[in-house]
Amino acid sequence: MRYIKIKLIHTLLILVLLFNVRPAQADEVKAAVAANFSAPMKQIIDVFEKETGNTVKVSFGSSGKLYSQIQEGASFDIFLSADESVPIKLVKENLAEVHSIFIYALGKLVLWSPKQNYAGPHESVVSKLENGQFKKLAIANPKLAPYGMAAYEVLENMSLLNTLQNKIVMGESITQTYQFAATENVDFAFIALSQITKNGHISGGSFWLVPANLYKPIKQSAVLLSCAQNNNAAKAFLIFLKSQKSKDIIQSFGYEAP
């Protein structure tokens, strides 16, 4: 009789444990990602999920807006910024892990138009900018988007910021800035080269590759957020982001891999 009672208790304990099992959060990664990196990120996620069985849920937006969401307690595990200054801020605020920061891509700025031969060659587009021979120019908000700050620096270094002020249309993110030009609501826009590049080829329109000496290097950096210190899947994704497979995808979209 005593044996039966012990066995019954043992069975009940097993049932309690089974009913209290929850899916391990380590299989899932919640990623906050700069809008300019949306296309390569989707490809990288596809490969990562197939190879590991883990899943990645991603939210795209301007680096500044995502930074604010993280400050307010948004439940992200990793952050892929369009610069290195925002991840450093998060570390200083004890919201990210200092030893996890690394540069995953070096961005390039272009002036793009969906019209053929409108945003190039070099002499032609510079002349258009200097003489104001266009109606509207879109840039991303420099307070929220690093590519917007880069565009701001270009205009400032070309001594055009004040003269073109009335022609500038500001997008909340680099994605919205691209859409302004793609829908021809503006003549052209300063965007990321990656937005018009796929598999090493330009998708259409015309562009001016802005000389690198006109803006500070765009060092897109990733970081593990402090709330995800025990999330092995998040750590695995950041390691995968450094792999050659990821670098090949990143370069195919017009970035330089560090």
The model's pLDDT over 74-115, given as tens digits with 9 standing for 90+, comes to: 999 999 999 999 999 999 999 999 999 999 999 999 999 999
157 Cβ neighbours under 8 A, 6+ residues apart: 214, 215
Distance in angstroms (rounded) separating the CA atoms of residues 180 and 136: 10
Q: What integer pLDDT is reported at residue 198 of this predicted model?
A: 84
Angle (CA) 40 81 141, round 5° = 100
Q: Which residue's entry shows tokens 């004890």?
A: 94
CATH architecture type of domain 22-106+219-252? 3-Layer(aba) Sandwich (3.40)
Q: What integer pLDDT is reported at residue 24 of this predicted model?
A: 43
Check whether the bond before 121 is cis (ω within 30° of 0).
yes
| DSSP-derived pairing of the beta strands 137-140 and 188-192 | parallel
Same fold, 22-106+219-252 and 109-209: yes
- Please tell me which residue, 166 or 16, carries the higher pLDDT value: 166
Q: CATH homologous superfamily of domain 109-209?
A: Periplasmic binding protein-like II (3.40.190.10)
The model's pLDDT over 138-153, given as tens digits with 9 standing for 90+, comes to: 999 999 999 999 999 9
Helix (H) or strand (E) holding 107: strand 102-107
Look up the pTM and report it: 0.85
The model's pLDDT over 21-78, given as tens digits with 9 standing for 90+, comes to: 334 444 899 999 999 999 999 999 999 999 999 999 999 999 999 999 999 999 999 9
Q: Where in the chain are the domains?
A: 22-106+219-252, 109-209
